[in-house]
Amino acid sequence: MFNFHSTYKELPAQFFSNAKPEPVASPTIVIFNEDLAQAIGVDIASFNDRQKADLFSGNKVVDGSEPFSQAYAGHQFGHFTMLGDGRAHILGEHVTQSGEKFDIQLKGSGRTPYSRRGDGRAVLGPMLREYIIAEAMHSLGIPTTRSLAVVSTGESVMREQALPGAILTRLSSSHIRVGTFEFAANYENGSSVSSLLDYTLERHYPSLIGKENKAVSLIEAVMEKQAELIVHWMRVGFVHGVMNTDNMALSGEGIDYGPCAFMDSYDPEVVFSSIDRMGRYSYTNQPNIAQWNLARLIETMLPLIDNDPNKAIEIAKETIGQFSRLYKDKGLAMMRSKLGLVSEQDEDEKLIWELLSWMKSNNADHTNTFHDLINSKLPKNELYQQKQFQDWHTKWQSRLEQNNQPLEESLSVMRSTNPAVIPRNHKVEEALEAAHNSDFNPLHKLLAALKDPYKDRKDREEYQKAPEPTEKVYQTYCGT
């Protein structure tokens, strides 16, 4: 079963509260990730559905588990608030045979000391959405939390209407967020941040423990991870939708997939979340927001950076300023890979922007356009007949020749950078709606289609097609 070696509770008491999941009426397993369970050495093959449902609803707390909820704060749409796990319980930190560690967290498992006015519950649709997105991210090779199970609770949850309740079991290499540091900095006791810093280094960045300036070293490491994460998201056209500081993990994993979506047609300004009215978290703004969030992170550590407050601020500004360059370099390298440019030329940026601006003006499908370029023969699509595109294509072909590498090299880089399939929003919504009506087939079909996203497979064309105008989903709702 689980091999719990939990360390979070060694932090000062203000960082967590012991809290047990609140039992639910009649839990049933909706989906269970057998592959993941095996991969982390959790052997529950012998469990029947009833036992699994009891386990993943929190109705039965397993031996060795001392559930707790975490305290944190966060900037939500720019405004600072005290938060905490208002509807989540960590059962423990599971250590695999190879020494990897995962928080095992139930989400939607009842009220906690941090629930404020919330009911501590979650709705089936959003929990399945998070399950799907996290597993899709993992298959795409993008750092992410994972999904182990979803159970329905047999209870309704009151939102604008009564909706079916559910609990997600999520795995995360930790749940330390930028907001956890903000919580620590807000706590009266000045040593809180220092304790959390040491804990975070030990858990995620042990090689930095002996560094002269631990705070700056941690920030630099997190900046690197976040730049990589955002570049991945941009590569696959993902819009997280709620990049609040409480939804940004120090591990560099994507976390808390709410009203998120992958774009179909390329539009840098795109926003899906119904609550993001100002476009704060639009596709193109994600790198800026990551930098903004990292600035909130470094602010919490100013006293640890230097005893002289002015000097600390100067160092902090200098450090966070480096994010732009870091992101730009990684972002450009990623775009080169998407186009198979395995060497570097000054003109590359122009070539890239020409394609993107053509895609934008023509509402070209983000995923399919890049994937189509891998084929020597473009599909017979009217868009590709346009002179502007043809001219660009010719220019790109001759640029490829200047790589001085076999074409196959470029194609193989493109194949591993441009997925054939993403969880398209209309297919996700279709699966969620069917699940709402107790038909889980579309969910299973979708999850199967999202495996090996870089392979060419003939059996999933339905999932590769861009949505028809009538199928297109423009807005996603928190619905939580």
DSSP assignment of 400-429, as one string? HHTT-S-HHHHHHHHHTTS-S---BHHHHH
Active centre residues (catalytic): 246
Residue 165 as a binder of ligand AMP (CB under 6 A): the answer is no
Task: Identify which range of 15-23, 36-44, 107-115, 249-257 contacts Mg ion by CB under 5 A.
Answer: 249-257
DSSP 3-state percent helix, strand, coil across the chain (nearest 5) = 45, 15, 40
- Shortest Å, Cβ 175 to ligand AMP: 11
Figure out which of the listed residues 22, 253, 256, 264 binds Mg ion, where binding follows CB under 5 A: 256
Figure out which of the listed residues 86, 141, 154, 268 binds ligand AMP, where binding follows CB under 6 A: 86
Q: Residue type at 104? A: I
- Shortest Å, Cβ 431 to ligand AMP: 21
CB-side neighbour CA atoms (13 Å) of 469? 1
Figure out which of the listed residues 10, 51, 96, 118 binds ligand AMP, where binding follows CB under 6 A: 118
Whichever of 247 and 464 has its CB closer to ligand AMP, that residue is 247
Contacts of 428 (CB under 8 A, 6+ apart): 129, 132, 133, 261, 446
Q: How does 184-217 read in b/e, with b if 16+ C-beta sit within 10 Å?
A: bbebeeeebbbbbbebbbebbbeebeeeebbbbb
Residue 83 as a binder of ligand AMP (CB under 6 A): the answer is yes
Task: Identify which range of 21-29, 113-121, 397-405, 416-424 contacts ligand AMP by CB under 6 A.
Answer: 113-121
Question: Given the structure tokens 């709402």, which residue do they identify?
Answer: 436
d(C-alpha 83, C-alpha 185), whole Å: 14
Q: Are 73 and 182 in contact (CB under 8 A)?
A: yes
Residue 121 as a binder of ligand AMP (CB under 6 A): the answer is yes
Residue 410 as a binder of Mg ion (CB under 5 A): the answer is no
Residue 70 as a binder of Mg ion (CB under 5 A): the answer is no
Q: Which residue's Cβ lies closest to Mg ion? A: 256
Q: Are 24 and 54 in contact (CB under 8 A)?
A: no
Q: If contact means CB under 5 to 8 A according to the sort of partner, which of ligand AMP, Mg ion, none does residue 379 touch?
A: none
Q: Are 3 and 94 in contact (CB under 8 A)?
A: yes
Task: Identify which range of 22-30, 82-90, 224-232, 375-383 contacts ligand AMP by CB under 6 A.
Answer: 82-90
Whichever of 130 and 256 has its CB closer to Mg ion, that residue is 256
What residues make contact with Mg ion under the rule CB under 5 A? 247, 256
Contact residues toward ligand AMP (CB under 6 A) are: 83-87, 115, 118-121, 247, 256, 258, 480
